[in-house]
A and B are shown apart, each in its own frame.
Chain A
Amino acid sequence: MTDILLEVQGLTTRIGTAVDAPPAVVVDDLSFTLRRAETFALLGESGCGKSMTALSLMRLLPPGGRIAAGRVKLSGTDLLRLTEAQMRVRRGGRMAMIFQEPQTSLNPVLSVGEQIGEAVRVHEGHPRRLVEDRVLELLDAVGIPDPARRLHEYPHQLSGGMKQRVMIAMALAGDPELLIADEPTTALDVTIQAQVLRLLKDLQRTTDMAVLLITHDLGVVAETADRLAVMYAGEIVETGSVAEFFAAPAHPYSRRLMESLPGADKRQGRLAAIHGRVPPLDQPFVGCRFAPRCTEVLPVCRTDTPDWTDLAAGRGVRCHLWIGSAGVPPARAAAQPIHPEVPPPTGPATVGDLLKVQDLAVHFPIQRGVFRRVVGQVRAVDGVSLTLSTGRTLALVGESGCGKTTVGKGILQLIAPTGGSVRYLDRELRGLGHRRMRPFRKDLQIIFQDPFASMNPRMLVGDIIGEGLQALGIKRTRAGRVTRVAELLDLVGMSPEAAERYPHEFSGGQRQRLCIARALAVEPKLIVCDEPTSALDVSVQAQILNLLKDLQERLGLAYLFITHNISVLAYLAHEVAVMYLGRVVERGPVDRVLDDPRHPYTRALLSAVPVVDPANRRQIIRLEGDMPSPANPPTGCYFHPRCPDAIEACSRNYPGETRLGDGRAVHCLRLDE
């Protein structure tokens, strides 16, 4: 078979330098093959060993990492038998790699031209003057406008999408046969992600290179890969073609993963969260590694390691349920209803607006000169109006830099707004001093994005949760606080013993539960949730979303849910407001906005979201370029320079609000079209 490019057999990688601890087997007996010009995805959650697999292939493991066994054949050459010098020629030559964080993966003190030129020189041995021509050619190939100017710019002068393009240009320098892309778009916004994925596809078509795509995003796999392997706890548990896999995932883990994806179709019920967490890899395993979290577990799963079962050509699974089934799906003994019927969230009867935000503005001054004259304003939030009632969820959605987090902070007066009004229960919050704001702090709480950074690592969990009770004088006695903290921990599904432990002892999902308990401690009416699940894995995200939904039903909470994730808001929100460059371009009931977006930006945003189900796939409306700077917004409609439907009038005035019959408000001149 000549079309096999990469053949990995029995790859085993260990990490660990600690003397007293056994090394963690992060990649355990991994085998797969990659054909020329195909896209093969390694899918898995954090800690499953997918990135370590990629680094093992490149032989770029971090200190303490060691490939213990296996063969990695690239076009017939076993990479693991090469000397370091021979390997270096392959690296960046026949096999190249791009990384997750374009932000940190480029050298900040070298210009773009130098960094790409370096790769060109190493692998093509061009004379110096030809290097620049080749770099320009590469920058052009990855769709960077005006390459001659970009050549001399530094990474910090480029946007995230541009940086990832530079990374790709660097990887292309040696005309690789294999491109390993480790979460290439995870750090990017969806519209930029769509651009980059499209670029990779186009490049693949013209150069015939194979792509090993490493990702946790089922949607990205479904839209870009040809075949995939699902990894769990260092092992491959299932392989197959993308079409077969998404039609009928075989392994229970794959199935749960699909079911835990939030989305509009699951609004009426709970997500099938996978309870527990990915096991640590520094322990010996007995039986199936997924057994402790599996809902279809058999007695044999806990004692015997399941063998690999081939279901069809190129399709296999590692699961006891399938052994001896000869490719016929076994009866799902423990199959559970995926969406247990829960009454639709009616919530308490709405009693008027809880929160009413009118023309909220947060501008930051730009200062110049010896005496710091104010020469301009960064219009982070530039006239946002929202209303939110008790027991409802309003999602604020937009890409990074659109000002959605600033809106949340401006409402809570954590940043002083420079204009507009914020009325909570008909009382104006804007301009209240620190002291007069204090009584409202009890009602208005916030949950932050990063559960690792938002808790004081030196405080006990019980003290973190109880701090608000003490500070706002709700529970003055220590005993009262202890009881209340135990209640709260129970409410978020944690055991009361957690109070006596420190934050670092918990996993990401558990920490986010603790953060929720902290916010709930003072019995708030409204919680601003600032991307509470974007640092979490899909299966854990489902747990947190379920919890938030439960709490809303039980306690009648209102959420202002700030997110960039469309499927999360589709699942959780009642209303949605779409933000672009500091302004809301469209708002209304979530099903109306998602099913029939009217603003061109909303349409482009929604079309760019990768979806698992091919039936739901839309034509991607590609936006060119990046969001402009809020310091210098375009004239007229802020979106018109990137808008596919813009007409001449769009560049003159910012369009006013048009109310549609279905409760929606849209800012666009071209609604009638």
Chain B
Amino acid sequence: MTAYILRRLLYAIPILIGVNLLTFVLFFVLNTPDEMARMQLGEKRVTAAAIANWKREHGYDQPLLFNEAAPGLAKVTQTIFFQRSVKLFAFDFGSSDNGRAIGYDISQRMWPSLAIAVPVLLVGLALNVSLALFIVFFRATYLDLGAVVLLVAMMSISGLFYIIGGQFLLSKLFHLVPISGYDTGWNAWKFLILPVIVGFIGGVGSGARWYRTLFLEEVSKDYVRTARAKGLTERRVLFRHILGNALIPILTGVVVVLPLLFMGSLITESFFGIPGLGSYTIDAISNQDFAIVRAMVFLGAVLYILGLILTDISYTLVDPRVRLQ
């Protein structure tokens, strides 16, 4: 098992190098520092001197891959590739185009993101599983049919509708919680309630419907018939036998997204004015701040690979048949 994890971590290295090279090509070769400067300074009437100045201020004045002018090893290190891309491996994200340290910003902004994402995930998981079990208990009845229709309707409605509808209903009409904003420490709770509710409602349609399918798949299996033949109650069959087996795909599906919770939600955070990593990314994109976007892309790749490894490990914990080699 340790050997397996070690090997998986070794496999991650070439993938990250690939991601890194790809982002380098996208962000510096296809979109040269000159063009970045021109975009920041305004397309029209920008002088060559202003561009050179902007590049020097933001550290984009070095050659891309090889610095002829620099002495010795600095020929390689004094380049955009080394300074901007290689350093990502050490999680040294450098500074954004407006001069703030990206690493510091991330460490500050991930907490609000987690404050929304974790409750949405946990509450959603618990409620979706219960709801799906409830529907499966009444399978092949009108209750089942009605619930599925409702869930499909809910998953067909855009997430934006729930956000705006929630804000209108709870904040504007009943004045229960603020429409948007954030506060530090525990005072943040009243800003978090609405995004969490909206996040759950937006996910229940697809979540509960998917879990219902997983449960139904297990219900028709032979071992369930064996369990019934033992004389167990339907409740015990459902909770002990079916839930145990259906939890395998459910848990591993959850584990893979765990690391990505750090990244926050792009839309929810910007609509509710939560200063998390999701809104950070959105703002960076609209401000053409490619240093931040690149850092987030790389971070996302790292976290996703981490999620996949965690998924494999979680398999061995919940499924006795799986042994990693």
Contacts and interface: CB of A to CB of B under 8 A. Distances in A.
A and B part of one assembly: yes
Interface of A: 58, 60, 62-63, 88-93, 96-97, 99, 101, 104-111, 118-119, 122-123, 154, 156, 167, 170-171, 173-174, 367-372
Q: Tell me whether chain B's interface is mostly helix, strand or loop, or mixed.
A: helix
In order of increasing CB-CB distance, the 9 nearest A-B pairs are A92-B231, A92-B230, A91-B231, A104-B222, A154-B320, A107-B223, A119-B230, A105-B222, A97-B229
A63 B3 CA distance: 46
Nearest to A87: B231
Contacts of B233: 88
Contact of B226 (A105, A368, A369, A372): A105
A368 B325 CA distance: 6
B222 A370 contact: no
Contacts of B319: 108-109
Nearest to A91: B231
Interface residues of B, number: 29
Interface in B211-260: 220-223, 225-233, 240-241, 244-245, 248
A371 B245 CA distance: 33
Contact of A370 (B10, B228, B232, B318): B10
B136 to A, nearest CB: 12
A88 B227 CA distance: 11
Contacts of B7: 370-372
Contacts of A170: 226, 230
B222 A101 contact: yes
B232 A107 contact: no
A367 B325 contact: yes
Given A110-B244, A171-B229, 17 more contacts: A58-B229, A63-B139, A88-B231, A89-B231, A91-B228, A99-B225, A99-B226, A105-B223, A108-B223, A109-B320, A118-B232, A119-B231, A122-B232, A174-B231, A368-B3, A370-B3, A371-B7
B321 interface: yes
A107 B227 contact: yes
A156 B221 CA distance: 16
- Give the residue among B10, B140, B227 with the most A Cβ atoms within 10 A: B227
Nearest to A59: B228
B145 to A, nearest CB: 13
Given A118-B232, A369-B3, A108 B241 contact: no
B225 A105 contact: yes
Contacts of A99: 222, 225-226, 229
A156 B320 CA distance: 9
Contacts of A93: 231
A110 B241 contact: yes
A63 B139 CA distance: 10
B90 interface: no
B244 A60 contact: no
A106 B222 CA distance: 8
A468 to B, nearest CB: 37
Contacts of B227: 107, 118
A60 B225 contact: yes
Contacts of A174: 231
Given A99-B222, A108-B320, A368-B325, A122 B230 contact: yes
A97 B225 CA distance: 10
Contacts of B226: 99, 105-107, 167, 170
B184 to A, nearest CB: 45
B6 interface: yes
Contacts of B10: 370
- Give the residue among B7, B231, B319, B320 with the most A Cβ atoms within 10 A: B231
Nearest to B221: A104
A413 to B, nearest CB: 28
B255 to A, nearest CB: 17
A169 B320 CA distance: 22
- Give the residue among A62, A108, A123 with the most B Cβ atoms within 10 A: A108
A554 B169 CA distance: 83
A496 to B, nearest CB: 39
A91 B3 contact: no
Nearest to B229: A97
B230 A118 contact: yes
Contacts of A370: 3, 6-7, 10
A119 B325 CA distance: 35
A99 B222 CA distance: 9
A118 B240 contact: yes
B223 A104 contact: yes
Contacts of B241: 107, 110
Nearest to A369: B3
Contacts of A156: 320-321
A202 to B, nearest CB: 22
B229 A60 contact: yes
27 contacts: A63-B139, A88-B232, A88-B233, A89-B231, A90-B231, A91-B229, A92-B232, A96-B230, A99-B226, A99-B229, A105-B222, A106-B226, A107-B223, A107-B227, A108-B223, A108-B245, A108-B320, A108-B321, A109-B245, A118-B232, A122-B230, A122-B231, A170-B226, A367-B325, A368-B325, A370-B7, A370-B10
Nearest to B231: A92
Contacts of B140: 63
- Give the residue among A93, A99, A167, A173 with the most B Cβ atoms within 10 A: A99
B227 to A, nearest CB: 7
A167 B225 CA distance: 12
B193 to A, nearest CB: 37
B29 to A, nearest CB: 35
Contacts of A60: 225, 228-229
Nearest to B247: A109
Nearest to B223: A107
Contacts of A88: 231-233
Nearest to A114: B240
